[in-house]
Amino acid sequence: MTNTITVLEAGQELTYGFADLARYHGFGFPGGVAHSFKVMQRALPLLGGETPPERREITIRTPFKGPGARDGFEMVTRATTEGRYIIDDSLLALERGEFLKGYVFVLGYRGKTLKLTIREGIVREEFILLSRKPDKTAAENKHLVGLKQEMADRLLVLPAVEAYDVVEID
C-alpha cells in the first residue's frame, strides 16, 4: 500500500504525502486533512484508471464543511480556488444518522463520478458531540484537540479501502 496521492499537472506527476497536506493546512483540523487524504487515496486511482488524473479536472462536492478537508483537497486539486470544490448540503446522508451524515464526498473526473462514504466505527460520537458543543471550557477545547489528532491517527493507519466505501454514480 502506497501512502501517497499522485495526480498530474499538465501531464507531469505530482505526488503528495499526508505530511504535505498537513503542512499546507496547519494545525487546526488534522482529522479533516486525514479524511481528504483517504478520500483521494480511495477515489483518484479509480477515476484516473491506468494514469493519475489531471488535478485541475477533478471536481469535489460534499456537505462536509471542515477546513482541514477543504485545504487537503485544495492542495492536491486546486479545486477550491478554481471553483470545482462545492459544499452541497443536498448530499447529506440523513439515513446514516447524526454522526455520519456529513461524511460524503462526490468526486468527478472526465465524465466519471464516484460517491464515497465513511465506514462505520471511524467517526466517534464523543468527537462529534464535543465539536458541536457551544461554549466549551478550556479543558474541553484541549480534549477536542486530542480527539482531532486521534481521528487523524486512526485514519492514517487504515488502507483507504477500509475507511471509505465507494460507488459509481451517474
Q: How many CB atoms lie within 10 A of CB 98?
A: 11
Kindly report each contact of residues 46-53 with a partner whose C-beta sits within 8 Å and lies 24 or more positions away, as own/partner: 46/112, 46/114, 46/166, 46/168, 47/107, 47/108, 47/109, 47/110, 47/112, 47/114, 48/7, 48/109, 51/8, 52/6, 52/7, 52/8, 52/13, 53/7, 53/8, 53/109, 53/110
The greatest distance separating any two alpha carbons of the chain, rounded to the nearest whole angstrom, comes to 50
pLDDT the model gives residue 2: 67
- Please give the model's pTM, rounded to 2 decimal places: 0.95
Cell of 48: 484516473
Residue 105 contacts by C-beta under 8 Å, 6 or more apart in sequence?
A: 39, 43, 60, 61, 62, 64, 115, 116, 117, 164
Where do the domains of the chain lie, and which CATH numbers do they carry? 4-169 (3.30.1330.130)
pLDDT the model gives residue 46: 97
Mean pLDDT for the stretch of residues 80-92 = 98
Residue 4 contacts by C-beta under 8 Å, 6 or more apart in sequence?
A: 15, 16, 17
Query: Rounded CA gap, 140 and 24, in Å?
Result: 26
pLDDT the model gives residue 97: 93
Give tens-digit pLDDT for 34-82: 999 999 999 999 999 899 999 999 999 999 999 999 999 999 999 999 9
